[in-house]
Every structure is written in structure tokens, then in C-alpha cells.
Chain A
């Protein structure tokens, strides 16, 4: 991980090396915990997709997902881009565009949910029996990914609400830019979103490859 910015050193020196730390990885432990939890979430989806491959090896009914489904990757890429920009804007103390980017990221997440919802409905309209394993896998994969996303949306709402509440107090934000907790929370949130967005790209390609 790149770790050259001053505030990160500050977190390390204030909280972790001031007390004689043996630093193996210059990364905040909570950020490290996020990376490890990403591994764990990856294993969950690897298990689900491996289960699909196992089943596909026995017998399989392929069907093409509704057209709307193909727009979903655009929204997650947009979401990741917006959050990446938002983090940089926050670090450079540009709070208004920061807030706007957060809002746009929220909207892109809502858009993604809508796309998923209509995709889901589209599959229901195909009147596939829910006992058709390929359809059931499609539902489960989408649902499990959406549940992960829901956690990200809640956290994003909290961060956006805090930023919006303090919109008239630029000093508040300025004070917070040296607050390592706030920087860390934004970074960890962005990290999580990059992960779930990337995860959807993987799942999208996986579905594309195995269903069509």
C-alpha cells in the first residue's frame, strides 16, 4: 500500500508507534482488518460461484439475463470513480465538491440497486421455476451481493450526512482534516466500495460466461 501522506504517518505516530510499536505493515490496523475482511468476503463468493460451477458440471439450464443487466457494471465503475475522487477532494480540503461527489456516489448506488431490481423482475417474468438451479443461483448471487452493498450504502449515508450537516461550517471540515479518525473512516469506506464494486465486475463476468 502507498503510505506516503502526512496524515497517515500522523495516525501511526500518534496512536501506534508513540507507545513503542514494532510496525510490520505501515497501515492502520482497522484498514488492515478491512483488507482481511475483504479476503473473507471473497471466500464467501468464491464458495458460491464454485458451487455454481459444481452444479453446472452436472446439468444446467442457460438463459440470457434481461438487457438492463448489462448496464450494471457501468454504474459500479462510476461509483468507484466518484468515491475515489471524493477521497482525494477531502484530502485537498475541497469540501463542497467532496459533498457533491458523495451524493453522486450515493445516487449511483441507488441506480445500481434499481438496475438489479429490474433485472430480478425480468427473470421473474421469464417464469422460470424457482427450482431451476441456474435461476436460483442467479437470485442468490444478486441478493448476497446486494446485502453487502446495503452495508456500504448505510455507511455512505452516515458520512454524507455528517458532511452535509457541516456544510456551512468550513472550519469544522478544516479542523477535521487533521482528525485521523475522519480520514480513516473515509478511506476505509472507499476501500469497501471499491471491493464491492470490483466484486460485482467479477460476478457480472462470471454470470456472463456461465449463463449465455
Chain B
């Protein structure tokens, strides 16, 4: 409440009655109070700056998580070899240049955690919800800029706790990103090194992250519902805004379940309760825990865990829909079908969590119910895929970098989606559970595909974010190398269907020698993917400072409202009144050309 005074949604009376001049100011803080470095770049309440903070923190974690995967991929490819640089880098965790099993598990755990939560949730939703919601719905800022700022700083605190956990004596959490008890319910480092302080820090970090997500989500939803400009009816919202709102709804309803699991788990660890623990024997000694159920934790975890994949992918779907429409110069095919499909995915997504638990001994009848709902999700997903392809069909395609990433997203979504249908069947899943087939499935659909959506968004909205263009050649290189080598990493894993995931080494198993050098090929491809990301990183930061300056307000010829703001908008976004909206966001290639949402209807035009 206190931040209403600083809420730029409050009209500045001096601007009443002005028309939107729309010229470039060339600086950020033209018509607002003087800002210091701290208020402008650090403790900023401007949604655009907060979005950049989310993005850069997300990029930081993407590189940390990505680099971790390279280390454990080296171990998987050449388990007998030694890499002296590892000992230099990791010290006693890689004595003699070979990754210790303990640290291998820690790397896998932190890789999964940071990629899922910090990069693809915080980095993706945090960036684009903050940046696009006020700009695309025609608002000067979020409903509560203070809460928005807090959302970022809780994310930052969560990041810092996780980062610190990497350097403690007993090592970071190492019981898998799902942190199942009983392994993670015991604080005994003799059982598992990462179960000590590392896991306490992991739980603290995730709890802070949940607070950040809730603060952000509340803000996104109330902003979209209440702060739309005149004429911006719900049916005229761009699909990306819908996607961000659905993800926020999923977040505010599902994250509390994870929080409750975290609370109960911490009780078990610190106060010796037995919510999840029962009859544990360690070194022949029966511990006093009794009556708990580890399966209960899995229910609570996956009640968030499964909607989490939609929290990740739905904003990416929204970004792809809108960016694709701009660069195909065509209205998105089936706007309402897209919208209803997203809604269907959100609703059904709440009833499928137990498909992660088919091997826990659940009743087959219950398993079938969850399987039916899981397979039902294929219907709206297929509708969306069909609509993306039909949007491309006979479009006036501009194969820009963001467009290529959109097309890449569709390809990955199909590849990863098809294997989801396999895994949704309990009879098949029982065989494939916890194998490389599952690793391939979820990395392609919620890892690489979501990344492609994110990159499409970054390349597309970079000119609006920083007033400069990214380098196109580096962008094309980034796309092609990433697409080809990401497929090279994950596609072969489909054929490693019997390989259990999370194994440190397969050399002692005769049965796994059939795949020859596949692990080595995958690792080499992973290094190539990572090197392409260095191209992206260079391009991103170089372009912020030295990129080709944007000279026109609407470089892509898009129709949405963000492109009606000055090239470098200040806090408050529009200089004069906020423009009204008269049509939907997809009037491309009409009889009147490409028409922005703020352009009044011409005579004889049909209203959307």
C-alpha cells in the first residue's frame, strides 16, 4: 500500500490531456524524479529494470548450471580418464582429476535445480512478465512496483543462498533436484554428504524462491486484470500476456504445496519428526523414526513439480505465438483455440502429478486415471502445434533470428511431446522410469524448447529493452549450432532406454557396453552447445553497450503497444496519455497493411 505514492500508474496531472508525442528521449528518466545509480539500477521499481535484473541473473545461473553439466558429462563419457583441470577447479571433490561420486550427485542436483527454478522460471517468467505485461496491456508499471522489486530481491537472496551452498565443506545438496526423503530427510552427512548443511541451504533457497514467485505472480495477475488500458479487453490481449498470466495462476496455486513439503521436510530434519521417515536402518542400527511416508512427500512435491513444467513452457508458448505472428506477417492462426488450449493445459495440468509416481506402487486404477488426464493434455498441445504450423503456412516469412528460434521451438516441442505420450502410459513408464529416455524427453520439451522460447523473446524484444540491436550473424550462428548440437545431445538418449539415469559410471555393467561411444558423442555435442552460448553471451553484453542503435520505434513492424513507446522509455513508459486500444494484436497484412492495436478502426473494418 505504501508504494502508491511511487506508483507510476497514478496519473501525473501535468500530462493530462496531452497526446502521445512518442518521440525518443534518448534517456530514461526524462519526466520523473532524479534517480541515483542505486534507485535506477539496483533497487529499481521500474518493471523494465526489474525484468533486466531477472534476465541477467537467469543468464548467470544458466552458465553455472550449464558448466556443471559439462563436468558431469565428462565423467559419463570417459569414466576411466582423469582431467587434472577438475582437481584445480574442484579440489578434493575431484582428487586425481576424477569427479568424486558425491560431487557428481551434487552437480546433477544443482544443475537440475537452478535450471528449472532460477533459469526457466525466474529467468523466463520473471523477465518477460515484468517487461511485457505493463508495456503490452498499456500500464505505466505493475500494480505494486514495491512488491515487484521485492520479488526480485527474494530471488536474488535465494540465488545467493544457493550459490553459497556450493562452497561449504560438506558440499551442496546432492539428493536430486526432487530431494526425495528418506535420503534427504536425514541430516546425517555420513549417509550422504549433501544431506548436511548443503541441503538445509537448498531448502532455504527454494523457500525464498517460492516467496519471490508468489510475490511476482500476485502482481502479474492483478496487473493484467485491473490495469489494462481502455479498449484492451481480455479477448484482445496478446497471447504472450495470456501465457504469463496462466503461468502466474499455476504458480500461486501450486507453489504453496511445495512450500508445505519443504516445511515438513525441514521439521523431519531439524526437529526429528517423522512425516516422511519410517523404519530407517543405517549401518545395522534402526533409527527411531516411525510412521512417516516418503510417498507423501512425492505427492506434495509433484503437485507443484508437474504444474512447474507448464509454468515453464506456457510463457514460452505465448512468446513463440506472438513472435511468430510478427515475423510471419500473419495473424496467429486460431487465437481463441490457442487461448482455450492454454487454459485446458493449465486445468488438466493440476490432475496429472502422479504420473511421475507410477512406480511407487500406486493402485493401477489410480494410475489409469492419471494416465488418462496425462494423455488428454496431448489434445490441446497438438492444437497449438497445428496452429503454429498453420501460422507459418503461406506466411510472408522473415527468417530473422527470433523467428528461427520460434520454428526451432515447434520442432523441439513436437519431438519432446511425442515421447511424453509414451511416458504417460503406466505400462510403458514402468519400464522407462528413471532412464535416459526420460532424460531425453524432459530435456527436449521443457529444457531446450523453453530455452528456444526464451531466446526468441530475448532476440525479439532486445531492441525495446536496450535501444540497440543484437548482432544478426552471431544470432544465426547461435541458433544453428544450438539446434543441431542440442538434438545431438538429447536425441541419442532415446535409444539408451535401459540406461538408468544418475549413475556415476556404467563401466562395471556389461549390459551397458552396447552403446559404444554414444556417451562420448553426447558429451562432445554438449561442449559445442555450451560454446554456442558463449557466442550468445558475447553478443548480448556487447550489444547492450555497442550494438547498432535502434533508430525507429517499431523495428520489427509489430502491432502491440510496447512499440508505441519511445525507443528508450522512461519509468511510466508513455510520455503523454497511454494509448487506447481498438483492435486485437494480430492485424498483419490486412487490406490496410499492418495495423497497430492503437489505430482506430477504419470505415467498414470488422472489430476483433
Q: Which residues of A contact B (CB under 8 A)?
A: 14-16, 18-25, 27-30, 32-33, 36-37, 39-41, 43-44, 47-48, 51, 54-55, 58-59, 130-133, 136-137, 139-140, 144, 181, 184-185, 188
Contacts and interface: CB of A to CB of B under 8 A. Distances in A.
| Smallest CB-CB A-B distances: 4 pairs | A29-B143, A44-B256, A20-B230, A47-B260
Given A47-B256, A139-B273, 9 more contacts: A15-B7, A18-B11, A25-B226, A29-B143, A29-B223, A33-B221, A37-B218, A40-B218, A132-B274
Given A23-B226, A33-B143, A58-B293, A51 B9 contact: no
A58 B299 CA distance: 15
A58 B144 CA distance: 45
Contacts of B234: 24
B147 interface: yes
Given A19-B9, A29-B223, A55-B293, A133 B275 contact: yes
Contact of B267 (A27, A59, A136, A185): A136
Given A19-B578, A54-B296, A184-B1, A43 B11 contact: no
A39 B257 CA distance: 12
B253 A40 contact: yes
Nearest to B287: A131
Nearest to A155: B1
Contacts of A139: 273
A207 B119 CA distance: 40
Interface string B248-269: 0000111111011101100100
Contact of B300 (A18, A25, A32, A47): A47
B291 A37 contact: no
Given A20-B230, A32-B225, A59-B291, A40 B214 contact: yes
B517 interface: no
Contacts of A30: 1, 4, 143-144, 222
B274 A136 contact: yes
A131 B227 contact: no
Given A40-B253, A43-B256, A131-B290, A29 B272 contact: no
B337 interface: no
B233 interface: yes
Given A36-B218, A43-B253, A19 B260 contact: no
A36 B252 contact: yes
Contact of A29 (B11, B227, B254, B261): B227
A81 to B, nearest CB: 24
A27 B9 CA distance: 15
A18 B229 CA distance: 10
A21 B218 CA distance: 19
